[in-house]
Structure 1
Amino acid sequence: MVSGQWALPRVVVAAPASGHGKTTVATGLLAALRRRGLAVSPHKVGPDYIDPGYHALAAGRAGRNLDPFLVGPDLITPLLRHGASVPTPADVAVVEGVMGLHDGAVGRRDFASTAHVARLIEAPVLLVLDTTAQGRSAAALTLGMAAFDPAVRIGGVILNRVGSPRHETLLRDALAEVGVPVLGAVTRAAEVAAPARHLGLVPVAERAPESLAIVTALAELVEATVDVDAVLDLARTAAPLTTPAWNPVAAVGGAAGVERPRVALAGGPAFTFSYAETAELLTAAGADVVTVDPLRDPALPTGTRAVVIGGGVPEAYAQALADNTALRAELADFDGPIVAECAGLLYLGRSLDGVPMCGRLDLTARMTDRLTLGYREAVASTDSPVARAGAQVRGHEFHRTTTDPGHGDAPAWRWNDAEHGFVSGRVHASYLHTHWAGHPGAARRLVEAAR
């Protein structure tokens, strides 16, 4: 279903702040709904890569991001509809928020906040409250969250970390006073037993043996503590979608030429940070997209004409990446275009914390104690396989590493009055994560360069 009206049930799982249990509830809800035989479409507000990995495991389909800063507000509903349509139409969509409900991009009020996305997709909000050391004040907090933006409809509350049956009764009575229904109550002991306290901090691939067990535990937690039928009823109150779905073929203007050059997309445990739309746009632009795992594959897939190496955690796998000497040597000599973001940048350098990498770029990288985090508005400094000099994009940084030098003689981007990244021959590499749905010309340009 790509156009016309669609009454897609949907709900946004939000909280007053980070740490209240959004990911626990959202992931458990996705898994619980799937266990009922429903097709569930998982989504995450913001640029987060880790939560969507758990969402995908819970829902059995790709976890997708909804980020107005990276793609623009006009694409949020089309991208929701697209994600909920493939590979099959979903019965319900669950959208996990980011930070606090009303927290947006710094200096932009609530732009790109969970509240902003809830308004754009016209979905009710399920508010998760950490009730530790709270009684009636939980009702005041909920009322304030709702009144702060009357256009955001809080349709129910999940009480999290409830201390006792008496505590739960107190909380339920208080929320009844302000007319907000309680749709679930999770005790402190139950939440801790569900091994979810650090769910959003470690990628699924890093804890593969236990990831499925965690998701199963979260499904059981939600089934035991949340009125799933009431959540579904709330989701069904969302207005029908009337905006057409995003279409990757239309976004890139269709495939040019008849040859389908092979583009290798890095994957596996070391390179898990990638938006699902990247592969879809490359395919729509005319590429034959294949996956390569730099931890295990000794060579690029036969016929590879371009390589995309996204984000991830190469520092956790540095020695294993170094041990794959055959692939490192091939990438060092590869003459096709290469696009690398963050982890890909580190992998293409000479070394990471003293461990040898590909040596394609003349830089060294090391871990630091400093977290670099935030949205960026960047301008391309140099013509490259993904952008012409002067092109404007929006992206996101998230890393604890630094490189020496910090940029090349031909930098990739400029933001905050400084140069960043490297363009070397047909290689484009930087710390900037971008969502290609926001600038689909990158996919078309890369495929044309490969062709």
Structure 2
Amino acid sequence: MVTPLALPRLVVAAPASGHGKTTVATGLLAALRRHGLTVSPHKVGPDYIDPGYHALAAGRPGRNLDPWLVGPERIAPLLRHGATVPTPADVAVVEGVMGLHDGAVGQRAYASTAHVAALIDAPVLLVLDTTAQGRSAAALVLGMRAFDPETRIGGVILNRVGSPRHETLLRDALAEVDVPVLGAVSRAAEVAAPSRHLGLVPVAERAPESVATVAALADLVAATVDLDAVLDLARTAPPLTAPAWDPAIEVGGPAGTLRPVVAVAGGPAFTFSYAETTELLAAAGAAVVSVDPLRDPALPAGTRAVLLGGGFPELHAEALGGNTALRAELADFDGPVVAECAGLLYLGRALDGVPMCGRLDHTARMTGRLTLGYREAVAVADSPAHRAGDPVRGHEFHRTVTDPGHGDRPAWRWDGAAHGFVTGRVHASYLHTHWAGHPGAARRLVEAASR
């Protein structure tokens, strides 16, 4: 029998992207932590960058809640897991994605912020960009609330307020529709992290500046938001009745008696990862170690398998290419290798003309076109992570292309086309997957490493 968990929680949402969700969510996490609370940070959707800022603000891993990638049945369990590991949290803050009701394309509300709020039974704190808005802001909030009556908007934070008079006008208008205003941030006070072609700059690439940004966001929220009112709203969430997600149960325990070393790429060039990936690998029996392809001259001693996730290798191509010792070792490494996006580019012959590992027979280059979206894929060939025929849901997010786009043995097929490469014991493609939704991948990689 599952004991219900009293976990105050709320979802920070907005009518659309660009209203200031990340500013408010990150600032809330940091301000509540300063307040002496243990805060559990979460992000709706497949985003890797925002959780890095959340982790810095909260002092514990930022975790994603994405029904498309992991299945709706795992959302509440993953929230409970994140809120209890490594220590029980006093409150959970969940940052939404895009607009409140924007879900997977063609799937209505599925995988939207509103969908996740319903799955975890949490109230919504709506962040509203009030630029060039007056009393009509109340109509917008009323429409957001009425569009899906099951989504409980418990309060609003006004962002980019122009003046004290503007704030008064907005507060009076929202009082007409009985929506509490829990904070107001002026345009002059707003703090933002730097961004570029795929969103914010990851924390790992600007560590000192990131610390300063998060501290400034904490100051901003503490000065402009009623933290006690936010906590009161979070406490209206009922106890969680779902069991906590358990990586050991998901993988069925250790894959064998060996503890093979699995090296997972990290550092500034490989910042895209989900916390549950290493937890699943460890539960399957792996000894998980990290490797930074920018700086480490060799794989960790005893490495039996390598996981190369996503990131921004195009911004670090010269340094990656300059680490010739590690490139040569990976070119000859005979253990299983799983590579996603950045890993795919790193394993090729060249990236924007800079030599890479040469393990895969392709070249890659930056383009002006963004490839972005959820994918329903089927594994084409057996590999260290997947069996041929396995259905997998993933996500693409890149501005590069490879030539060719797939090998003689592709990794995946979706939308009637082949994608990626399976060569020997290497599985590489642009597709990002969340292994909490496909825990068999972790067990399969550890089994392959044990052989």
Q: How much has 1:43 moved relative to structure 2?
A: 0.3
Residue identity opposite 2:386 in structure 1:
A
What does the per-residue CA deviation read over 1:76-112, in whole Å, with 9 as the maximum and x for residues that have no partner? 0000000111000111000000000000000000100
Give the Cα separation in 1 of the matches to 2:99 and 2:302.
Answer: 47
1:39-438 alignment, distance < 5 Å: 39-191=38-190, 194-196=191-193, 198=195, 200-438=199-437
Give the secondary structure class of the aligned counterpart of 2:188: helix
Q: How much has 1:257 moved relative to structure 2?
A: 1.7
Residue identity opposite 2:192 in structure 1:
P
What does the per-residue CA deviation read over 1:368-408, in whole Å, with 9 as the maximum and x for residues that have no partner? 00000000000000000011110000000000000000000
1:1-40 alignment, distance < 5 Å: 3-40=2-39
Residue identity opposite 1:373 in structure 2:
L
Q: When the two structures are superposed, what TM-score results if normalisation uses the length of structure 1?
A: 0.98
What does the per-residue CA deviation read over 1:310-334, in whole Å, with 9 as the maximum and x for residues that have no partner? 0000011000011111000000000
Give the secondary structure class of the aligned counterpart of 2:418: strand
Q: How much has 1:196 moved relative to structure 2?
A: 3.8
Decide whether the 8 Å contact of 1:196 with 1:218 is kept in 2.
Answer: no
Decide whether the 8 Å contact of 2:49 with 2:201 is kept in 1.
Answer: yes
Q: How much has 1:195 moved relative to structure 2?
A: 3.4
Decide whether the 8 Å contact of 2:194 with 2:201 is kept in 1.
Answer: no
Give the secondary structure class of the aligned counterpart of 1:369: strand
What is the count of residue pairs matched by the alignment? 448
Give the Cα separation in 2 of the matches to 1:195 and 1:53.
Answer: 15
Residue identity opposite 2:410 in structure 1:
P
Q: How much has 1:202 moved relative to structure 2?
A: 1.2
What does the per-residue CA deviation read over 1:199-246, in whole Å, with 9 as the maximum and x for residues that have no partner? 952111222220000000000000000001100110000010011000
What does the per-residue CA deviation read over 1:138-173, in whole Å, with 9 as the maximum and x for residues that have no partner? 100000001111111000000000000000000000
Decide whether the 8 Å contact of 2:314 with 2:351 is kept in 1.
Answer: yes
What does the per-residue CA deviation read over 1:30-71, in whole Å, with 9 as the maximum and x for residues that have no partner? 000111111110000000001001000000000000000001
Per the alignment, do residues 275 and 316 of structure 1 end up closer, same or farther by CA in structure 2, a change over 3 Å counting?
same
Decide whether the 8 Å contact of 1:78 with 1:245 is kept in 2.
Answer: yes
Q: How much has 1:425 moved relative to structure 2?
A: 0.1
Decide whether the 8 Å contact of 1:14 with 1:96 is kept in 2.
Answer: yes
Give the Cα separation in 2 of the matches to 1:256 and 1:156.
Answer: 48
Give the secondary structure class of the aligned counterpart of 1:433: coil
Q: When the two structures are superposed, what TM-score results if normalisation uses the length of structure 2?
A: 0.98
Give the Cα separation in 1 of the matches to 2:31 and 2:339.
Answer: 37
Decide whether the 8 Å contact of 1:379 with 1:390 is kept in 2.
Answer: yes
Decide whether the 8 Å contact of 2:264 with 2:306 is kept in 1.
Answer: yes
Give the Cα separation in 1 of the matches to 2:215 and 2:154.
Answer: 26
Give the secondary structure class of the aligned counterpart of 1:387: coil
Runs of 4+ in 1 over 3 A off after TM superposition: 195-200
Give the Cα separation in 1 of the matches to 2:207 and 2:400.
Answer: 25
Decide whether the 8 Å contact of 2:83 with 2:92 is kept in 1.
Answer: yes
Per the alignment, do residues 314 and 296 of structure 1 end up closer, same or farther by CA in structure 2, a change over 3 Å counting?
same
Give the Cα separation in 2 of the matches to 1:232 and 1:209.
Answer: 30
Give the Cα separation in 2 of the matches to 1:159 and 1:290.
Answer: 44
Give the secondary structure class of the aligned counterpart of 1:428: strand
Give the secondary structure class of the aligned counterpart of 1:190: coil
Give the secondary structure class of the aligned counterpart of 1:434: coil
Give the Cα separation in 2 of the matches to 1:243 and 1:209.
Answer: 38
Give the Cα separation in 1 of the matches to 2:208 and 2:434.
Answer: 30
Residue identity opposite 1:113 in structure 2:
S
Give the Cα separation in 2 of the matches to 1:415 and 1:245.
Answer: 32
Give the Cα separation in 2 of the matches to 1:38 and 1:208.
Answer: 24
Residue identity opposite 2:373 in structure 1:
G
Residue identity opposite 1:372 in structure 2:
T
What does the per-residue CA deviation read over 1:338-357, in whole Å, with 9 as the maximum and x for residues that have no partner? 00000000000000000000
Q: How much has 1:446 moved relative to structure 2?
A: 0.4
Give the Cα separation in 1 of the matches to 2:288 and 2:147.
Answer: 46
Give the secondary structure class of the aligned counterpart of 1:69: helix
What does the per-residue CA deviation read over 1:275-304, in whole Å, with 9 as the maximum and x for residues that have no partner? 000000000001000000001111000000
Give the Cα separation in 2 of the matches to 1:434 and 1:352.
Answer: 23
Q: How much has 1:250 moved relative to structure 2?
A: 0.1
Decide whether the 8 Å contact of 1:125 with 1:154 is kept in 2.
Answer: yes
% identity of equivalent residues: 83
Give the Cα separation in 2 of the matches to 1:446 and 1:249.
Answer: 15
Residue identity opposite 1:195 in structure 2:
A
In the alignment, structure 2 segments of 5+ residues that lack a partner are none
Residue identity opposite 1:169 in structure 2:
T
Give the secondary structure class of the aligned counterpart of 1:394: strand
In the alignment, structure 1 segments of 5+ residues that lack a partner are none
Give the Cα separation in 2 of the matches to 1:68 and 1:220.
Answer: 33
Decide whether the 8 Å contact of 1:56 with 1:63 is kept in 2.
Answer: yes
RMSD of Structure 2 on Structure 1 (CA): 1.0
Q: How much has 1:3 moved relative to structure 2?
A: 4.0
Decide whether the 8 Å contact of 1:45 with 1:117 is kept in 2.
Answer: yes
Give the Cα separation in 2 of the matches to 1:146 and 1:420.
Answer: 41
Q: How much has 1:198 moved relative to structure 2?
A: 4.0
